[in-house]
Amino acid sequence: MLSTKLIYQCDFLKFEKIENTSLGLISAKKDYIPIENFKIGFSEISKHLKDQGLNSIIFDKRNLTVFHQPSMEWYYTSWKMDLIEVNVRRHYKILPALPWFEKSVEAGKNEIKANHPDFDFSQFTVTYVTNPEEAVKIEASTD
C-alpha cells in the first residue's frame, strides 16, 4: 500500500502526493464528474502541483462509468498545457475495467486531433497502468 498525503479534495476528485516520490495521484470519486466540477477540481489541483514538487501525475479513473468528450477535450487542450508550464509532462492513466471505455478514449483522442490539428500530443507522455503502484515502479526506473 502506498503512503500518500492528501493535498486537495472535493465531491468528485481527490488529489494526493505519493510520499517519497514526485508523483501526484488524482482519483475520480464518483462515476461521473459534471464538466464544471471537472474544470474547477483540476484547476484547483494545478495550483498545488508546483508547490508539491511533482513531475508526474496519475489519473485514476476506475470509478468512472461515464465518458464525457468535452471534459476530455478540455483536459488535453487546456489543463495539460498548464502542466507543461510547470514541467509536469509524464501522465499515467488507470482506466475503468469497462471494455468500451478504452475505445471511447481512443475515439476521443482522434476527435481532439481532428478539432485541434495544431495540438501536439508529443509534449507529454501518457502511460496506461493498472494501479498506482505500477506507475510508481515505472517512474522510479525513469529517474
Q: For the segment 4-46, what is each residue's pLDDT rounded down to a tens digit? A: 999 999 999 999 999 999 999 999 999 999 999 999 999 999 9
| SS3 call for 41 | helix
3-state helix, strand, coil in the chain (%, to 5): 45, 20, 35
Query: Residue 143 class from Cβ within 10 Å (0-12 exposed, 13-18 middle, 19+ buried)?
Result: exposed
Compute the average pLDDT of residues 111-133. Answer: 92
Note the pLDDT of residue 81.
87
Chain-wide mean pLDDT for the chain? 92
d(CA 69, CA 72): 5
Note the pLDDT of residue 143.
61
Rg (alpha carbons) of the chain, rounded to whole number: 14
Task: Give pLDDT tens digits for 72-86.
Answer: 899 989 998 888 888
Note the pLDDT of residue 1.
78
Compute the average pLDDT of residues 87-113. Answer: 90
Q: Under a CB-based contact definition with an 8 Å cutoff, are residues 101 and 67 in contact?
A: yes
Least confident span in 13-17, 48-52, 93-97: 48-52
What's the pLDDT band for 98 if we cut at 50, 70, 90? confident
d(CA 100, CA 23): 28
In words, the CATH class of domain 14-142 is alpha beta
d(CA 2, CA 98): 25
Note the pLDDT of residue 95.
93
